[in-house]
């Protein structure tokens, strides 16, 4: 395969991913990614059974996939770069050699991070920038698509690739991974519905923190989250309502006395003294201690 064709396929993959993110958001179903797109009559899937994936049309890998709690302990280096484990323990394995070639040729790849079973956060372009055979680990930097220039030769060459800029982008991706993982796990626990009104349109659902993630106890765990629609998330954050430690909703007194329209009546006032919908798994139930702390702040705000 020529260098120009390789670059053309990668660009087509990035363009296709952009379209899919516009349709689905940046957390994409595995079924969509495994099906992929068609390039000049050839089907090009974006991932496969192995973490390092090369479609038949290419000579070098197109994507790498990280699966938390999987067989490889991917993570982050002290300098903030992504760490990606070799396949197996043989540095010369074909998949590892493929990533090493991608590093040498400075080829852009797609990074998939599984946030829940069957759903992946897609990030591109990423570049292999380090190889440590003693630790069986590659180093990966994330770049902005706007800084990747496909020259007339077809070779993908990152421009303006200052270390500080890439480190910042990689750190931003790390934050996105945590946020999306939290959202998907919380929504999955609540069966993709608002815990207050049962709205099931996932595009209108959020994972609301009980204790903010800026606080030491505000960890991104399901027991510190509640699935809420956009309206009830805003009402929860603005102290229009609270969820008590017994899982009962309490609406602020002045809101109950206010006369407005059907949205206020049905959207907020009718929630008063109702019990929220709870996850089926005991370990996913909202932490009563966290709810208690949040409820005390609500009481202080309405006095």
| Kind plus residue range of the DSSP H or E element containing 166 | helix 163-189
pLDDT above 90 covers a percentage of the chain that reads: 67
Cβ atoms of residues 65 and 87 within 8 Å: no
- Of 41-45, 50-54, 92-96, 166-170, the poorest mean pLDDT is in 166-170
The pTM (predicted TM-score) of the whole model is 0.76
Task: Tell me: pLDDT of 144 over 60.
Answer: yes
pLDDT the model gives residue 186: 96
CATH number 1.10.287 given to 3-184: no
pLDDT the model gives residue 214: 86
Alpha-carbon distance 116 to 249, whole Å?
Answer: 29
pLDDT the model gives residue 145: 65
Round the average pLDDT of the chain to a whole number and report it.
88
Alpha-carbon distance 177 to 67, whole Å?
Answer: 12
**CA angle at residue 162 from 86 to 146, to 5 degrees?**
85
- Go through the chain and tell me how many residues it has: 303
Alpha-carbon distance 236 to 69, whole Å?
Answer: 33
Label residue 67 by pLDDT band (50, 70, 90): confident
Q: What is the DSSP string of 206-255?
A: EEEESS-TTSTT--S-GGGEEEEEHHHHHHHHTTSEEE-TTSBEEE-HHH
pLDDT above 70 covers a percentage of the chain that reads: 90
pLDDT the model gives residue 154: 46
pLDDT the model gives residue 161: 47
Task: Tell me: pLDDT of 170 over 50.
Answer: yes
Task: Tell me: pLDDT of 190 over 70.
Answer: yes
Alpha-carbon distance 58 to 6, whole Å?
Answer: 6
Cβ atoms of residues 73 and 84 within 8 Å: no
Average pLDDT of 162-178? 73
Characterize 199-235 residue by residue with b for buried, 16 or more Cβ atoms within 10 angstroms of its Cβ, and e for exposed.
beeeeebbbbbbbeeeeeeeebebbbbbbbbebbbeb
Coil, strand or helix at 163:
helix
The one-character DSSP state at 51 is S
pLDDT the model gives residue 168: 73
Domain ranges of the chain: 3-184, 192-302
Task: Tell me: pLDDT of 70 over 90.
Answer: no
Characterize 155-168 residue by residue with b for buried, 16 or more Cβ atoms within 10 angstroms of its Cβ, and e for exposed.
ebebeebeeeebee
């Amino acid at each position: 395969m020529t260098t120009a064709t390789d670059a053309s396929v990668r660009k087509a993959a990035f363009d296709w991913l952009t379209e899919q993110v516009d349709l689905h958001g940046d957390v994409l179903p595995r079924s969509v990614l495994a099906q992929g797109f068609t390039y000049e009559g050839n089907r090009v899937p974006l991932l496969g059974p192995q973490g390092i994936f090369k479609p038949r049309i290419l000579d070098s890998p197109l994507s790498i996939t990280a699966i938390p709690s999987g067989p490889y302990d991917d993570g982050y280096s002290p300098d903030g770069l992504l760490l990606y484990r070799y396949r197996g323990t043989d540095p010369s394995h074909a998949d590892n050699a493929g990533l090493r070639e991608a590093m040498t040729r400075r080829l852009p790849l797609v990074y998939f991070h599984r946030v829940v079973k069957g759903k992946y956060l897609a990030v591109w372009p990423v570049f292999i920038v380090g190889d440590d055979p003693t630790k069986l680990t590659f180093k990966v930097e994330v770049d902005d698509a706007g800084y990747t220039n496909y020259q007339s030769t077809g070779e993908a060459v990152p421009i303006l690739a200052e270390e500080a800029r890439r480190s910042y982008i990689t750190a931003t991706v790390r934050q996105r991974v945590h946020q999306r993982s939290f959202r998907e796990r919380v929504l999955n626990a609540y069966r993709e519905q608002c815990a207050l009104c049962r709205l099931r349109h996932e595009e209108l659902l959020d994972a609301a923190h009980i204790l903010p993630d800026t606080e030491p106890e505000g960890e991104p765990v399901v027991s510190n989250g509640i699935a809420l629609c956009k309206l009830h998330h805003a009402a929860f954050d603005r102290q229009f309502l609270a969820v008590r430690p017994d899982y009962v909703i309490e609406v602020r007194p002045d809101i109950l006395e206010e006369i407005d329209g059907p949205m206020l009546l049905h959207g907020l006032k009718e929630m008063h003294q109702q019990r929220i919908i709870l996850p089926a798994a005991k370990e996913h139930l909202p932490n009563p201690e966290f709810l208690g702390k949040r409820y005390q702040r609500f009481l202080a705000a309405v006095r």
